[in-house]
Amino acid sequence: MNILVTGGAGFIGSHLCTELLKLKYNVTIIDDLSTGSLDNLTAIIDNEQLTLIKGSILDKAIFEKVSTHVDTIFHLAAAVGVKYILDNPLQSIHTNVMGTENVLEFAHKTNIKVILASTSEVYGKNDKASLSENDGRVLGSTHITRWSYSCSKALDEFMAFAYHRKFGLPIIITRLFNTCGPRQSERYGMVIPRFIKQAIQSQPITVHGVGEQIRSFTYVSDTVRALIALMHEDKCIGEVFNIGGKEPVTIKKLAELVKKKVGSSSRVIFIPYEEAYGAGFEDMQRRVPNIAKIKSFIDFEPLVGLDEILDTTIAYINQEMDIVEKKNEIHSC
């Protein structure tokens, strides 16, 4: 079986490719390395069943470089992270909308199954206790750049459904809720690696707002397991699924947990949204998934809880920071 993964050098994509290779699939990656990294592929880059194509999904010609017939596409390439979206609004919209259109058009030519990675951000400011796939979207003004990400990913979903209804293209849409774990970067505003690095370095742990906003986190191995299981189940075609954890936590409590687990002397401080992201920034108060639907289709349950997520990620970041420190010591000699 031949599988194409767009964004395969990214955080989730690299974990997905690693697992697919373990299952003996042939894997082709398309990634422009704008937010992904070759470092994420170190353990698999020499695998004979892996092909890496460096390039952007915005370039239609890049798909001509896929030399083998493709059975399934995992479309993960996207602009990600609140900070990246705010810093690169136009590029983010182009990548998410035009890139997805290129992927769907390529898939349509030979009727390839597409698993589209969408986001919990599509629900916007809907603060329902647990969000189900048919719940409505609540969004802020178009003056507020943050909501452009939600809209661009929602448009991706609309396009996927349109290709499915008009052409019968086999598509499955997944809405990911705060996937985290080893190899996730803090560069684009990802909260867990940011808190951990601040705590390890005894820097202030910076919580945006008052810290009462509630999130649910998903370990990357659970996300990958769900994605692969969905691929194998044809009754999931034409459907959308939440993929998320079951332990809601306030961001303030998350910061305190990280501080305790690291054994850090860091202070937890609160930064107004306006200071962190600029005037007019809006956030959602609560974002927790209802995962009853995916459980009914593939019997999915997250296996890794928040404590283990933090313990594993802290250990990984400590190891990575030790490696960087040793390299710096060698260079300074």
Query: Helix 306-332 vs helix 251-262: angle between axes, to the nearest 10 degrees?
Result: 60
CA angle 101, 168, 123 (to 5 degrees): 55
- Dist CA 41 CA 248 (whole Å): 31
Q: Is 149 a known active-site residue?
A: yes
Using the 8-state DSSP alphabet, how is residue 57 labeled?
A: T
DSSP string across 156-203: HHHHHHHHHHHH---EEEEEE--EE-TT--STT--HHHHHHHHHHTT-
Residue type, 255: A
End-to-end Cα separation, the chain, in angstroms: 49
- Dist CA 198 CA 56 (whole Å): 33
Annotated catalytic residue: which of 25, 84, 123, 149? 149
Check: CB of residue 242 under 8 Å from CB of residue 290: yes
**Residues labelled as active-site residues:** 149
